[in-house]
Every structure is written in structure tokens, then in C-alpha cells.
């Protein structure tokens, strides 16, 4: 806390924030020691040692996984939103005037597929959707109670996935999920 106050007093708030973020990053030795961890518990211990704000919290394997998934989802949504906003702004306003492509005042939907970052992110989320579908399908064949599995899905959840709750066998899966 004292270092943060000193930096803010000396450089101003914005520069202190930038330097504070830089000081929170791992240096090469810390990163190499983190790579040598054999278990997630070791990673949790090293993260607790590096980031003092985590002291007092019980960081275990499940908490670390939840935190990483939440951060990943937030980053994905922010990047996707930024790329969509940039595309919308660049195609909506041409030569300083509001020039829409169609008479119905909508943006051409094909614009979003031309952005490489957006394409990569969409591929990533579609991969998770497919993996989740087969994970729940496999669980359905082994175990009839799959309701608690839907709480474990953080990335790649979609409405059609919930139709697997109603399926009793593979013919139902084909009827509800594949044919529709």
C-alpha cells in the first residue's frame, strides 16, 4: 500500500496505475518457477506468494479454475465486443456521414466474418460448444442424471445444449438435436 501511495504521489495516478500493473507481472525467474510446478496446488501456493491481495483467501484447485474461466470469458467478451464495435464504426460512418449499406438501416452481417480476430474467437467458442455437446452426450450414455453437468459448463454454453436433458437415448438425440 505504501509503494502505491508513493508512486501515485510522485508520478500521478495514471502513471502509477501503469507502473503498478507492470510490477504485478511475473519476471522470467518467477514465470520459470511457475512452469516447473507439478500440481495445481503448487501453482496456487506460488500465486498466493506473488499476489499479496490473495492472502487470507483459500485458493484451491476449484477456485483457481473458476477464476481462470471467469477471466477467460470476460476477456473473450471484451475482445469480441471491441472488434464488433470497431467494425460497426468503420462501416457505418463513411466520409463523416452516416451511410448505411441497405435501406433498412442495418449493417451487413458478412462484415463480422472478415475480421481475423473475430473469426479466431468464434472458432474457439464453437470448438467448446462441440466439446460440451459430446461431453454431455457421453455422460448421458453412462449416467442418466446430467442436470448437475450443466453447472460445470462455463465456456461454450448454448440453448440447444439443454435439449439433451430431454433425451433418453440416441434416437431422441437425433430427433431433437440433429434433425431440428
27-40 confidence digits (pLDDT tens) = 788 888 888 888 87
105-126 confidence digits (pLDDT tens) = 444 444 444 567 777 778 878 8
Decide if 128 is inside a domain. no
Exposed, middle or buried by CB within 10 Å (0-12, 13-18, 19+), for 84?
A: middle
Task: Give how many domains the chain has, as a whole number.
Answer: 1
Q: At a CB cut-off of 8 Å and minimum separation 6, what does 138 contact?
A: none
Residues above pLDDT 70, as percent of the chain = 65
Decide if 27 is inside a domain. yes
Residue 169 has pLDDT above 80, yes or no: no
b/e burial code for range 108-143 (CB count within 10 A of at least 16 → b): eeebbeebeebeebeeebeebeeebbebbbeebeee
Residue 164 has pLDDT above 50, yes or no: yes
Decide if 143 is inside a domain. no
Decide if 23 is inside a domain. yes
pLDDT-derived band at 104 (thresholds 50, 70, 90) equals very low
Which is more confidently placed, 51 or 74? 74
Q: What is the DSSP letter of 177?
A: I
Residue 14 has pLDDT above 50, yes or no: yes
d(CA 16, CA 5): 9
Q: At a CB cut-off of 8 Å and minimum separation 6, what does 63 contact?
A: 44, 57
Q: At a CB cut-off of 8 Å and minimum separation 6, what does 127 contact?
A: 156
SS3 167: coil
Decide if 172 is inside a domain. no
Residue 103 is predicted with a pLDDT of 43
Decide if 175 is inside a domain. no
Decide if 67 is inside a domain. no
Instruction: Provide mean pLDDT across the span 162-171.
Output: 76
20-24, 61-65, 78-82, 108-112: least confidently modelled range: 108-112
Domain enclosing residue 2, as ranges: 1-59
The CA-based diameter of the chain, rounded to the nearest angstrom, is 69
Among 165, 168, 141, smallest CA distance to 153 is for: 165
Residue 159 has pLDDT above 60, yes or no: yes
Instruction: Read off φ and ψ for residue 138, nearest 5 degrees.
Output: -65, -40
DSSP lists the bridge partners of residue 98 as 93
What mean pLDDT, rounded, does the chain reach? 70
d(CA 46, CA 34): 7
77-100 confidence digits (pLDDT tens) = 777 777 666 655 544 444 444 444
Which is more confidently placed, 26 or 97? 26
Residue 130 is predicted with a pLDDT of 85
Instruction: Read off φ and ψ for residue 80, nearest 5 degrees.
Output: -65, -40
Decide if 110 is inside a domain. no
Which is more confidently placed, 25 or 126? 126
Amino acid at each position: 500500500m505504501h509503494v502505491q501511495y508513493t508512486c501515485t504521489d510522485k508520478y500521478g495516478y495514471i502513471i502509477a496505475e501503469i507502473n503498478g500493473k507492470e510490477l504485478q507481472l511475473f519476471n522470467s525467474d518467477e514465470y520459470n518457477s511457475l512452469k516447473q510446478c507439478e500440481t495445481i496446488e503448487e501453482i496456487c501456493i506460488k500465486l498466493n506468494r506473488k499476489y499479496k491481495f490473495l492472502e487470507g483467501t483459500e485458493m484451491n484447485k476449484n477456485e483457481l479454475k473458476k477464476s481462470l474461466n471467469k477471466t477467460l470469458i470476460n476477456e473473450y467478451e471484451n475482445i469480441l465486443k471491441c472488434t464488433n464495435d470497431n467494425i460497426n464504426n468503420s462501416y457505418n460512418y463513411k466520409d463523416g456521414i452516416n451511410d448505411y449499406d441497405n435501406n433498412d438501416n442495418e449493417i451487413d452481417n458478412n462484415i463480422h466474418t472478415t475480421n481475423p480476430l473475430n473469426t479466431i474467437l468464434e472458432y474457439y467458442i464453437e470448438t467448446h460448444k462441440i466439446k460440451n455437446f459430446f461431453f454431455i452426450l457421453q455422460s448421458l450414455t453412462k449416467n442418466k442424471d446430467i442436470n448437475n453437468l450443466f453447472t460445470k459448463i462455463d465456456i461454450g454454453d448454448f440453448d440447444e445444449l439443454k435439449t439433451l436433458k430431454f433425451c433418453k437415448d440416441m434416437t431422441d438425440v437425433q430427433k431433437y438435436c440433429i434433425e431440428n
